[in-house]
Amino acid sequence: MSTTKSSKVRIRNFIGRIFSPGDRDRGDEEMKPSSSAMDISQPYNTVHRVHVGYDGQKFSGLPAPWMDILLRDISLADQKSNPNAVVTALKFYAQSMKETEKTKFMTTNSVFTNSDDDEVDVQLTGEVTEHLRKLRCSNGTSSSPSPSATSSSARPLTNGNNSSSTNHLSNSSTEASLSFGSELRSIPSPSPVPNSESAPQLKNLTGDAPKLHPRSPYPPPPPVLPQRTKPPVVIATNNGITNTPPVPGKRVPPKVPPKPQHLKISSNSTLSSSGSSSPINNTNTTSSVRSVGNSLSNGSCASNTSSEADVQLISNKENTKIVGDANANDVDQLLVEDEPVRVRQQQKQKLTDSEVLEQLRGIVNPGSPISKYEMKKQIGLGASGTVYVANVAGTSNVVAVKRMAFKTQPKKEMLLTEIKVMKKYRHPNLVNYIESYLVEADDLWVVMDYLEGGNLTDVVVKTELDEGQIAAVLQECLKALDFLHRHSIVHRDIKSDNVLLGMNGEVKLTDMGFCAQIQPGAKRNTVVGTPYWMSPEILNKKQYNYKVDIWSLGIMALEMIDGEPPYLRETPLKAIYLIAQNGKPEIKRKNDLSPDFLDFLDRCLVVDPDARADTSELLAHPFLKRAKPLSSLIPYIKAVKEQLGERK
């Protein structure tokens, strides 16, 4: 097993204990004979609440294991300084534990499904919220990151910087609850894992040929040392598309029939109702909405598109008005435009395994790949399968083949999403799909470009890139993100692990499993990502859009400076607390960085997504003018490969 593989697996093992996917494994469900009419179903939508109090000094009411872990990871002083962030961390943690409980196996990423299953939520009592309100008033500020605290950018920050944790607290909840899955489990403690590679590291501060020596020492790490890579990812579907101003330069929402007046809700209620109360929740309102839903949101990353439909109907209605005003004499036109169209309510449902299989069969090539590809060696082991390098028989072409056992996949819909996105969206900075096969209904082969240089993680962990090289990598990633965002696709899992390198220095994004399609101006609240790279709005379960990728890109830039994302050495609970508490992470080596680079980071790591840069802005940023040719990466990639090869 290569070092890459083993390190990823190690980290996965660690993280897997903490976070795991939220997709219900429907495999068993599918196999079961249908229950008779006399059967009484198991309880569902269960909510298990534990009352949580906070007296201004400490939390109470948590189950003992939770209290232990809270006290171990977050000091009383920290709890006191920002109880909101504690709530965010607990909520996230509770959800992750629930998902671990449900799935009972480890996977690469954590996925929280937040809508259609057991409720997992943390709310504080009215008494507690009142206390926190007073605290905020007496401090004269929110305990969440403030705009000024979270970005040194001179650009105006509009709103939302008071962190969503404030949202939890500002509602008038009268019940304090920390809700779990069906049964409370003892909380696994992160086991100590050796610090990231103690082996010699390659490093270059000057941009010259890389030399082997360790990265700069940082303050002594705390005792619990999670390893980098494949930490948790989360998905929580919660009817999450909302109405926001359209994004300039993005695609125009598809035309849909005007919404009947009696069904029309105010723009405010559109946001808050998330479509659940609207009588016309419909994922299939228009053909384009349907195609979006079918092509992408069938994966577990899909969120309910009903709100989106509402938004479109409302905005279309407004368009209609303008058209009507402009053609006031044309009564027929007005009548036609105002004709209410009733749209049938249809609930978004997850695909069954057999539906996923059916769709998959429609995508894969017929026949068998066995004689076409000669497997050379295993190059990686992911949560969903094993990656091999292979030769195309009779040619000198080399490809990567990912083989997955379909039936036992925990995230079948996400797999389907990944293949669909890879197949449909091709770009020089994306790992491109070549073809796929389903051998004997279970052995799924996905053939793709082979990126011989491995992933960026190995390079950032073992070497220190200079600013010109970092700018080059960021520029390539931004080109891919710009392409995805222009197609209304949000990647949602940007991190160095998902950036692959070619031996000629090419840089490509991979791992489309968490991609989602968001219509321009719409938002989602499916909690997806890898916590260390996760934007505050996702962590706080707020509505979000494509800007989450920009935050993660900023964190990835910090990885390239420091070799790891912020808080990696903290326990997961503390890390989540710190992200919620601090917003923009501290940039450790500020004095070593150019003003352009600092400004680039500032523009990515803005807590308020509306004030955060988009790909167009960043692609034009002066920092990218410093980008060196991609060939400058070659010695680094080679040195890392050699080092990894030596250790095999």
Ligand X SMILES: Nc1ncnc2c1ncn2[C@@H]1O[C@H](COP(=O)(O)OP(=O)(O)OP(=O)(O)O)[C@@H](O)[C@H]1O
Q: What is the DSSP secondary structure assignment for residue 183, as one 8-state letter?
A: S
Query: Which amino acid is residue 417, in one-letter code?
Result: T
Kindly indicate which of the ranges 58-66, 328-336, 375-383, 630-638 contains the residues binding ligand X, using the contact rule CB under 6 A: 375-383
Structure tokens at 196: 């990231």
Distance of CA 402 to the CA centre of its chain: 22
Identity of the residue, 265 or 501, whose beta carbon is nearer to ligand X in the bound complex: 501
Judge contact between 520 and 489, C-beta under 8 A: no
Q: Per CB under 6 A, does 227 bind ligand X? A: no
Identity of the residue, 240 or 380, whose beta carbon is nearer to ligand X in the bound complex: 380
Phi and psi at residue 504, to the nearest 5°: -95, 10
Residue 610: C-alpha distances to residues 143, 586, 639 (Å): 20, 21, 40
Kindly indicate which of the ranges 55-63, 65-73, 297-305, 380-388 contains the residues binding ligand X, using the contact rule CB under 6 A: 380-388
Q: Per CB under 6 A, does 383 bind ligand X? A: yes
Q: How far is the CB of 513 from ligand X (least distance, A)?
A: 6
Contacts of 393 (CB under 8 A, 6+ apart): 371, 372, 373, 374
Binding mask 454-493 for ligand X (x = CB under 6 A): xx--------------------------------------
Q: How far is the CB of 212 from ligand X (least distance, A)?
A: 22
Q: How far is the CB of 380 from ligand X (least distance, A)?
A: 2
Q: Per CB under 6 A, does 384 bind ligand X? A: yes
Which residue from 8, 136, 168, 462 is in contact with ligand X, where contact means CB under 6 A? 8
What CA–CA distance (Å, rounded) separates 63 from 61? Answer: 6
Nearest to 607 by CA among 263, 227, 33, 158: 158
What CA–CA distance (Å, rounded) separates 379 from 431? Answer: 15
Q: What is the DSSP secondary structure assignment for residue 220, as one 8-state letter?
A: P
Catalytic position from the list 449, 493, 549, 602:
493
Identity of the residue, 5 or 155, whose beta carbon is nearer to ligand X in the bound complex: 5
Binding mask 435-454 for ligand X (x = CB under 6 A): -------------xxxx--x
Determine if residue 508 is left, alpha or beta; phi over 0 gives left, psi from -120 to 50 gives alpha, anything else beta. Answer: beta
Q: Is 493 a catalytic residue?
A: yes
Q: How far is the CB of 410 from ligand X (least distance, A)?
A: 10
Identity of the residue, 87 or 414, whose beta carbon is nearer to ligand X in the bound complex: 414
Q: Are strands 398-405 and 386-392 parallel, antiparallel or unpaired?
A: antiparallel
Judge contact between 98 and 158, C-beta under 8 A: no
Structure tokens at 237: 């579907």
Site for ligand X in 271-330 (CB under 6 A): none
Q: How far is the CB of 628 from ligand X (least distance, A)?
A: 23
Site for ligand X in 509-548 (CB under 6 A): 510-511, 513
Nearest to 470 by CA among 455, 459, 485: 459
What CA–CA distance (Å, rounded) separates 529 from 112? Answer: 10
Q: Residue 290, class by beta-carbon neighbours within 10 Å (0-12 exposed, 13-18 middle, 19+ buried)?
A: middle
Identity of the residue, 73 or 458, whose beta carbon is nearer to ligand X in the bound complex: 458
Q: Per CB under 6 A, does 100 bind ligand X? A: no
Partner residues linked to 54 by β-bridges: 59
Q: Per CB under 6 A, does 258 bind ligand X? A: no
Nearest to 469 by CA among 429, 507, 430: 507
Identity of the residue, 313 or 379, whose beta carbon is nearer to ligand X in the bound complex: 379
Q: How far is the CB of 418 from ligand X (least distance, A)?
A: 7
Identity of the residue, 9 or 202, whose beta carbon is nearer to ligand X in the bound complex: 9
Q: Any known ligand binding at 407?
A: yes
Phi and psi at residue 161, to the nearest 5°: -80, -5
Q: How far is the CB of 446 from ligand X (least distance, A)?
A: 9
Known binding-site residue numbers for ATP:
407
Supply the residues annotated as catalytic.
Answer: 493
Q: Which residues are annotated as a binding site?
A: 407
Q: Which residues make up the interface to ligand X (CB under 6 A)? A: 4, 8, 108, 230, 379-380, 382-385, 387, 400, 402, 431, 448-451, 454-455, 500, 510-511, 513
